[in-house]
Amino acid sequence: MADRKLFALVSILILISIILTYSLSAYTTLLFGVSEFHFAIRQAAFGLMGVIIIWLLAQLDPDEWLAPIGFTLFIGSAILMIAMPFLPEFLVSAVGGAKRWIKVFGFSIAPVEFFKVGFVYFLAWSFSRKLGDHAGMGIGAEFKRFIPYALVFVGAMFMIAFVQNDLGQVVVLGMTLLFMLMFAGSSFRFFLSLLFISLSFFMFFIFTAEHRITRIKSWWALAQNSVLELFPTSIAEKLRVPTEIEPYQIGHSINAIHNGGMFGTGLGGGTFKLGFLSEVHTDFVLAGLAEEFGFFGVLFVVFLFMWILQRIFKIANRSKDTSIYLFSLGIGLLLSFAFIVNAYGISGITPIKGISVPFLSYGGSAMIAASIAIGMVLMASKKADLE
């Protein structure tokens, strides 16, 4: 039997997302001249569709359906991402020159959201067959064994970071790949080596794109005062960024969090959603949650999310099938890193990466893709001893 607790917990989080979407989109509905329920109704439709998808997938036999669904997501979404730059304008939506969404019947679908789930399945399927114990294996042999996966990841990185101009998704995928490698049987020395190489590539991507450099400077302008006071004055002055660089979004996000205090302003009582934070119901939903429901509201959502992860990791830990173990683990890591990257960004700890909060941020593609991931984990949980 599939894990009913996981199904219930995800359903509760989806319900919270619908309530937050209604409250936090108040200004956006006025800005676009649509009904006050416009985004809430759409999110409710996405949420209902997500719950149905989770339930339907949970009924399927993992031995028969897990692989076809996983490979369809991986190969199908990869083909769509490769084709997107060549599709006509009426079929794709572009933001800042980057084509990230495909228009289908009035909705926009982001193939990268589905690719992440398929990529995790591909890694789990392949790692369970190719990787294993590293005893007696030198680091050179481990790198040789990793080459095919490196090529796949570099291809994905090119499509996402360069073609779609979305470095945040690459960060989440890269971190998931690294930790899945370690749990699949690679040595800790190899893990640290890949981590260093990944950080080097990450810095390369930042310093080769002007908009990313500007974003880093904007973040640093806000964070520098608290950090530089730890350094000698001579060094601090060299690292200081001119104050005219205004960290607009991060500044208002932090002020929204501060305004919420311990108990919040109440549902609908937030002020920073009124034009100060653009479309707060999407990437800044945690800041909106903090303002209207306070510290305890955020704590409740974090507790709920942690409970979801605990159920996913329990399924992984109780699975005797290595591919199911790695897939469940990978989905848990994928959701964890997305939540952490978003939370760190809206609180000013790291630069904003444009990563949505799983099941909480407004958006159909992210909701449906995450629901498919949970549905596949629930399908796989039938082979795990959860008693």
The model's pLDDT over 95-138, given as tens digits with 9 standing for 90+, comes to 655 677 888 777 788 899 999 999 999 999 988 887 766 556 67
Q: Give CA–CA dist 101/107, Å, rounded.
A: 9
* Its pTM surpasses 0.75: yes
Sheet containing 98-104: which strands, arranged edge to edge?
92-95, 98-104, 107-109
pLDDT tens digits in sequence order for the chain, 387 residues long: 578 899 999 999 999 999 999 999 988 888 888 898 999 999 999 999 999 999 999 999 998 999 999 999 999 999 988 888 887 777 877 665 567 788 877 778 889 999 999 999 999 998 888 776 655 667 777 788 788 888 888 888 888 877 777 778 888 888 998 888 888 877 778 778 888 887 887 777 677 766 667 667 666 666 666 666 667 777 766 666 665 444 567 778 888 888 888 998 988 888 888 877 777 888 899 999 999 999 999 999 999 999 999 999 999 998 888 899 999 999 999 999 999 999 988 887 777 777 889 999 998 899 999 999 999 999 998 877 665
Q: Give CA–CA dist 201/89, Å, rounded.
A: 32
CA atoms within 13 A on the CB side of 93: 12
Query: What pLDDT score was predicted for residue 307?
Result: 96
Report the number of distinct structural domains present in the chain. Answer: 1
- 107 pairs with which residues across the strands? 104
Helix (H, G, I), strand (E, B) or coil at 94: strand
DSSP 198-230: HHHHHHHHHHT-HHHHHHHHHHHHHHHHHHHTT
Q: Is 46 in contact with 367 (CB distance < 8 Å)? A: yes
- The residue written with tokens 């998704």 in the block is 169
Helix (H, G, I), strand (E, B) or coil at 32: helix
Is residue 386 one of the residues assigned to a domain? Answer: no
Q: What angle do CA 201, 170, 65 make, to 5 degrees?
A: 135
Helix (H, G, I), strand (E, B) or coil at 176: helix
Closest CA to 347 of 281, 303, 275, 291: 291
In terms of Cβ atoms closer than 10 Å to its own Cβ (0-12, 13-18, 19+), residue 84 is buried
Q: Residue-wise over 279-317: b if at least 16 C-beta within 10 A, else e?
A: bbbbbbbbbbbbbbbbeebbeebeebbeebbebbbbbbe
Query: What pLDDT score was predicted for residue 132?
Result: 62
Is residue 271 one of the residues assigned to a domain? Answer: yes
Residue 387: CB atoms within 10 Å: 5
Is residue 35 one of the residues assigned to a domain? Answer: yes
Helix (H) or strand (E) run with residue 340 in it: helix 322-346
Q: Give CA–CA dist 380/321, Å, rounded.
A: 9
Is residue 269 one of the residues assigned to a domain? Answer: yes
Query: What pLDDT score was predicted for residue 66?
Result: 93
Is residue 183 one of the residues assigned to a domain? Answer: yes
Torsion of Cα atoms, 231 then 235 then 239 then 243, to 10°: 80
Query: What pLDDT score was predicted for residue 95?
Result: 62
CA atoms within 13 A on the CB side of 28: 18
Is residue 107 one of the residues assigned to a domain? Answer: yes
Query: What pLDDT score was predicted for residue 174?
Result: 87
* Containing structural domain, residue 76: 4-381
Query: What pLDDT score was predicted for residue 185?
Result: 77
Closest CA to 6 of 378, 385, 320, 386: 378
Is residue 387 one of the residues assigned to a domain? Answer: no
Q: Is 283 in contact with 315 (CB distance < 8 Å)? A: no
Tell me the chain's radius of gyration from C-alpha atoms.
Answer: 21
Return all residues near 130 (Cβ < 8 A) that are at least 6 apart. 145
Helix (H, G, I), strand (E, B) or coil at 165: coil
